[in-house]
């Protein structure tokens, strides 16, 4: 008897304890920090003037009190409480009401350099007492100090300064509050004193950078003890609702790819893609030379979306909303009713108004506010002037990822140079490196025939669906975009416009001549048939006459033959009767 040795069961390693975190409620910041700032620990916000340190610190407290039930204390050393309440009221924050509800405590500590006397026994005990009272008065869980430089601006003794900084951060930890301390950026280090970043558990660097006369705010998590975090720079936007951060590297290839379809707004174009249009939540690129009809095709797409009751966001970088609406009326597409209903919104701005990152952050904010199902970006080629090809591609990649993650169907237009197919596909679009990122690529180009330019449409690719490989003539009429099959002349040259009409007229005339010739032959054949039928009828009549005569002759002969037969029968009977009579006659000469 054999015994099987027991199988060893591999136990999963114990899960590592996660670091408790305090959610900030700021769009994008919780995502890139993996859930928020370290709970019960100090976080340092550093940056130059005007980069948004005070705003981020105040938003952290406001969201904590309103959204997460964690009251907060804001201690300022530069602005008094009235100034703070007035400044943040412009962003929709009613600080006075929050103070009355004991959700927020505002403390202003005025420090004059002339009143400070530096001694070896100096400490921050008085500040700690005041801060502790404020914390206990509302049961605060969060604290913001703005700014640390103002607190130590009167000191030149570095040893005393660093000792008090360490003591401040240690005291905040002992209190178990989640603290945010703001500080000015130093010339050679993250902070002016070069120590805070080593004491804080989390350091966030804010930057307001000017490149090419365009300012862009960026945020970077320099360090985060005990937690993973995004390490790249992230653009952020300060607008009427506060701070909005777009976490770039978090946009991964994890979006869902559905099978639903959405109409292009042009029925014949839908037919070319299996009769159903684009895939929903896909990206469509319409490229072509100037005047080829890119915006008109985009307008049909937006108009169809609005007709379905879906929200459409139109990002225009060359024309105003009024100009686009006026121009589209000329082809029978009226976008103004959709604007009045609120299903179509235009955001028109010159590309040079801000940098690539700021455009990206602005679009991200608009998506969160309007929540569209369809987006038109017209055109993306204008971004080429705002940075290198690599920078533009990186920005557009992030934008496309954002659309796909939110299940938005996006149509991009792009200006291409050149007239041939090769030039049009390579110049302007591929140089940006985004053609490979698009799910569907439509190419509009011009052909010249007889001193006339006409538009042609190709479907260069459409991933995941059967689509036509044929070229269509693209017409802009007073009732919208029309597609019709192109004409290839006898010499194999593609013809469109009036040249096509001339050739088609010639072919129609030749067809009419052939039809007339054929009709003549048919008539001649009909006449011959009628003549033949007449001859056949005459022969048939003559045959019937002769047939009747023959029938009468045959009848007469048959009757004559019958009479002869009857006569012969009678004669035979007579002869037999005579013989019988002769047999009964009496004998002569017998006895009397």
Query: 255-274: per-residue pLDDT in tens?
Result: 788 889 999 999 999 999 98
Indicate if the pLDDT at residue 248 is higher than 90. Answer: no
Q: Do residues 54 and 146 touch, judged by C-beta distance below 8 A?
A: yes
Mean pLDDT of 314-327: 95
Other C-beta atoms within 10 Å of 503: how many?
16
pLDDT band at 252 (very low <50, low <70, confident <90, very high): low
CATH code: domain 265-485 is 3.40.50.300
pLDDT band at 71 (very low <50, low <70, confident <90, very high): very high
DSSP code of residue 252: -
- Helix (H/G/I), strand (E/B), else coil: 178: strand
| The pLDDT value given to residue 421 | 41
pLDDT band at 98 (very low <50, low <70, confident <90, very high): very high
Rounded distance, CA 37 to CA 236, Å?
17
Q: Do residues 443 and 288 touch, judged by C-beta distance below 8 A?
A: yes
- Of 230, 174, 175, nearest to 202 by C-alpha is 230
Average pLDDT for the chain:
82
| The pLDDT value given to residue 313 | 97
Fold assignment, 21-245: Rossmann fold (3.40.50)
Higher pLDDT, 463 or 592: 463
Tell me the pLDDT tens digit for each residue of 519-542. 888 888 888 888 898 889 888 888
| The pLDDT value given to residue 244 | 79
Rounded distance, CA 26 to CA 449, Å?
58
Q: Do residues 103 and 93 touch, judged by C-beta distance below 8 A?
A: no
Helix/strand/coil (H, E, C) string of 95-142? HHHHHHCCCEEEEECCCCHHHCCCCCCCCCHHHHHHHHHHHHHHCCCE
Mean pLDDT of 276-294: 91
Rounded distance, CA 547 to CA 533, Å?
20
Other C-beta atoms within 10 Å of 347: how many?
14
Mean pLDDT of 346-358: 87
Indicate if the pLDDT at residue 431 is higher than 50. Answer: no
pLDDT band at 162 (very low <50, low <70, confident <90, very high): confident
Instruction: Write the CB contacts of 29 (distance below 8 Å, at least 6 apart in sequence).
Output: 36, 56, 219, 243, 245
Question: Which of 222-226, 321-325, 538-542, 572-576 is least confident?
Answer: 572-576
pLDDT band at 297 (very low <50, low <70, confident <90, very high): very high
| The pLDDT value given to residue 112 | 63
The partner residues of 454 in beta bridges, in order of sequence, read 447
Indicate if the pLDDT at residue 128 is higher than 90. Answer: no
Sign of CA dihedral 160, 162, 164, 167: negative
Question: Structural domain boundaries of the chain?
Answer: 21-245, 265-485, 488-528
**Angle formed at CA 285 by CA 279 and CA 286, multiple of 5 degrees:** 115
Indicate if the pLDDT at residue 148 is higher than 90. Answer: no
- Helix (H/G/I), strand (E/B), else coil: 318: coil
Indicate if the pLDDT at residue 350 is higher than 60. Answer: yes
pLDDT band at 153 (very low <50, low <70, confident <90, very high): low
Angle between helices 389-405 and 356-370 (to 10 degrees): 10
Tell me the pLDDT tens digit for each residue of 379-403. 898 888 887 777 788 888 888 988 9
Indicate if the pLDDT at residue 134 is higher than 80. Answer: yes
| The pLDDT value given to residue 408 | 95
Rounded distance, CA 322 to CA 339, Å?
11
| Residue for token pair 């684009």 | 278
Mean pLDDT of 207-219: 78
| The pLDDT value given to residue 584 | 54
Higher pLDDT, 437 or 247: 437
Please tell me if the domain spanning 21-245 has the same topology as the one spanning 265-485. yes
Higher pLDDT, 558 or 38: 38
Phi, psi torsion values for 176, nearest 5 degrees: 70, 20
| The pLDDT value given to residue 592 | 44
pLDDT band at 418 (very low <50, low <70, confident <90, very high): low
pLDDT band at 455 (very low <50, low <70, confident <90, very high): confident
Question: Which of 83-87, 133-137, 310-314, 420-424 is least confident?
Answer: 420-424
Could you check whether the bond before residue 362 is cis, i.e. omega within 30 degrees of 0? no
| Percent of the chain's residues with pLDDT above 90 | 32
pLDDT band at 495 (very low <50, low <70, confident <90, very high): low
**Which helix (H) or strand (E) segment is 362 a member of?**
helix 356-370
**Angle formed at CA 577 by CA 575 and CA 583, multiple of 5 degrees:** 110
**Which helix (H) or strand (E) segment is 272 a member of?**
helix 267-272
């Amino acid at each position: 008897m054999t015994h099987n040795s027991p199988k060893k069961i591999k136990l999963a390693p114990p899960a590592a304890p996660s670091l408790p975190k305090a959610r900030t409620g700021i769009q994008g910041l919780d995502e890139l920090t993996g859930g928020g700032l370290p709970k019960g620990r100090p976080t340092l916000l550093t940056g130059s003037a005007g980069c948004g340190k005070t705003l981020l610190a105040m938003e952290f407290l406001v969201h904590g009190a309103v959204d997460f039930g964690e009251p907060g204390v804001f201690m300022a050393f530069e602005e008094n409480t009235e100034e703070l309440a007035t400044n943040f009221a412009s962003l929709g924050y009613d600080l006075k009401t929050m103070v009355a509800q004991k959700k927020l405590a505002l403390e202003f500590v005025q420090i004059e350099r002339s009143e400070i006397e530096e001694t070896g026994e100096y400490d921050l005990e008085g500040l700690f007492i005041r801060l502790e009272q404020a914390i206990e008065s509302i049961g605060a869980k969060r604290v913001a100090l703005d700014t640390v430089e103002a607190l130590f601006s009167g000191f030149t003794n570095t040893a005393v300064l660093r000792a008090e900084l360490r003591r401040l951060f240690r005291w905040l930890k002992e209190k178990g509050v989640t603290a945010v301390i703001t500080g000015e950026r130093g010339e050679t280090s993250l902070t002016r004193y070069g120590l805070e970043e080593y004491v804080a558990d989390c350091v966030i660097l804010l930057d307001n950078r000017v490149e090419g006369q365009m300012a862009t705010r960026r945020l970077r998590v320099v360090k985060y003890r005990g937690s993973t975090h995004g390490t790249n720079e992230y653009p952020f936007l300060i607008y009427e609702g506060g701070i909005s951060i777009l976490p770039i590297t978090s946009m991964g290839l994890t979006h869902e790819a559905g099978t639903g379809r959405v109409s292009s707004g042009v029925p014949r174009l839908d037919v070319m893609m299996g009769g159903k249009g684009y895939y929903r939540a896909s990206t469509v690129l319409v490229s072509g030379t100037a005047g080829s009809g890119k915006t008109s095709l985009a307008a049909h797409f937006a108009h169809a979306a609005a007709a379905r009751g879906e929200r459409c966001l139109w990002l225009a970088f060359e024309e105003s909303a009024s100009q686009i609406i006026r121009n589209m009326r000329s082809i029978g597409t009226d976008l103004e009713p959709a604007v009045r209903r609120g299903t179509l919104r235009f955001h028109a701005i010159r590309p040079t108004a801000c940098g690539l990152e700021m455009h990206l952050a602005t679009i991200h904010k608009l998506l969160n506010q309007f929540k569209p199902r369809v987006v038109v970006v017209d055109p993306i080629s204008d971004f080429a002037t705002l940075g290198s090809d690599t920078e533009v591609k990186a920005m557009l990649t992030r934008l496309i990822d954002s659309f796909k993650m939110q299940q938005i169907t996006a149509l991009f237009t792009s200006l291409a140079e050149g007239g041939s197919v090769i030039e049009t596909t390579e110049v302007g679009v591929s140089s940006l490196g985004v053609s490979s990122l698009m799910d569907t690529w439509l190419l509009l180009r011009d052909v010249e025939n007889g001193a006339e330019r006409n538009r042609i449409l190709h479907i260069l690719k459409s991933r995941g669906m059967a689509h036509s490989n044929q070229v269509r003539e693209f017409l802009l009429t007073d009732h919208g975009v029309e597609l019709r099959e192109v004409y290839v002349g006898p010499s194999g040259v593609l013809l469109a416009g009036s040249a096509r009409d001339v050739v088609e007229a010639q072919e129609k005339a030749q067809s009419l001549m052939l039809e007339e010739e054929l009709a003549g032959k048919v008539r001649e054949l009909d006449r011959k048939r009628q003549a033949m039928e007449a001859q056949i009828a005459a022969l048939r009549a003559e045959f019937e006459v002769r047939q009747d005569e023959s029938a009468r002759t045959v009848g007469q002969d048959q009757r004559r033959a019958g009479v002869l037969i009857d006569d012969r029968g009678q004669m035979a009977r007579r002869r037999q009767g005579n013989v019988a009579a002769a047999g009964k006659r009496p004998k002569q000469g017998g006895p009397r």
